[in-house]
Amino acid sequence: MSKTSIHYPLIVDDFARLVGSANGLLCIDQREGISIYNPTTRICNRVYGGFAAPVRHYQVAYGFGYESYTDDYKVVAVCKSNNKVKVYSLKTGIWKKVSDFPDANLLQDGLFLNGCIHWLDYLPNNLPNIVSFDLLKETYSQVTHPRYDEGEKMLELGVLGDRLCVLSSYAEKALTDIWVMDVDDS
């Protein structure tokens, strides 16, 4: 295993986290806004706007991905307090409001895979739900969930190769199941 440092000259505060990556571009969240950074060319696009000032960075779950049909990179911002969603297009440089996120209780940022951003959404009854946002159609869909073992578990959404996966960790059993989505979305 090796470690690589990426020269990123535009960190403007002490908080910076990687939201996601697509085709070598990095989407970085900071208190001052989002940056889309190309480490090869060292070109950085600062993205301001999205939600009004009262919404802080920790109140927003993001997703970042590439939409191949329109050849555009998009940032999806979900406000956790009111489920409002805005999409930023790198091509146009504009934030656009889209339909609200269905019942958002998001604990982490979304993952990009196959033209969609996927989030693990916890419903009020504490049952998890996988919600996908299609970057071309700008619509939501629900992904079929695996049947988990009984007991307290911690779930984490991931990408394994070119498939969506869910890690289901059971502390009392010292066991982790890895569920990998089949080609037919099951």
- Global pTM reads 0.83
HSE-up of 34 (CA within 13 Å, CB side)? 30
Mapped to the 3 state alphabet, what secondary structure does 1-24 carry?
A: CCCCCCCCCCCCCCCEEEEEEECC
CB 76 within 8 A of CB 63: yes
Angstrom CA distances, 104 to 29, 101, 109, 173, stand at: 20, 6, 12, 30
Lowest pLDDT segment from 103-112, 134-143, 171-180:
171-180
How many residues make up the chain in this entry? 186
The pLDDT tens digits for 69-101 are: 999 999 999 888 888 899 999 999 999 999 988
Residues 6+ apart with CB under 8 A from 28: 8, 16, 17, 18, 19, 34, 35, 36, 37
Residues 128-148 have pLDDT tens digits of 788 889 999 999 988 777 776
Please, which pLDDT band fits residue 127 given cuts at 50, 70 and 90?
low
CATH T-level fold of 16-143: Neuraminidase (2.120.10)
Q: State residue 56 phi and psi, 5-degree precision.
A: -90, 165
If we measure between CA atoms, which residue out of 3, 92, 13 comes closest to residue 56? 13
Which residue ranges make up each domain of the chain?
Answer: 16-143, 148-186
Element holding 146 (H helix, E strand): none
Cα–chain center distance at 107:
10
Cα distance between residue 33 and residue 129, in whole Å: 28
Give 33-68 pLDDT, tens digit per residue.
888 999 888 888 888 766 655 455 568 889 999 999
How far, in whole angstroms, is CA 79 from its chain's centroid? 13
